[in-house]
Amino acid sequence: MLSIVGDRWTFLILQEFFHGNRRFDDFIKNLTIGPNILTGRLNNLLSAGFIEKIQTGNGYHLTEKGFDIYGPMILMKIWGERWLRKNQKTFDFLDTSNRSLTPVAVCSACGELLNARQMSYVCNY
The reported pLDDT for the residue numbered 23 is: 95
Can you tell me whether residue 36 is helix, strand or coil? helix
Q: Which amino acid is at 24?
A: F
Reported as a single tens digit per residue, the pLDDT across 11-41 is: 999 999 999 999 999 999 999 999 999 999 9
The reported pLDDT for the residue numbered 34 is: 96
Residues of the chain whose pLDDT is less than 70? none
For residue 52, what are the β-bridge partners?
A: 61
The reported pLDDT for the residue numbered 4 is: 80
DSSP string, 69-122: THHHHHHHHHHHHHHTSTT--SS-EE-TT--EE----B-TTT-PBP-GGG----
pTM: predicted TM-score of the whole model, two decimal places: 0.83
Set out the domains of the chain in order of their start, with CATH numbers: 2-68 (1.10.10.10), 70-118 (no CATH)
What are the Cα distances from residue 11, in Å, to 7, 38, 50, 66, 120? 6, 12, 12, 12, 29
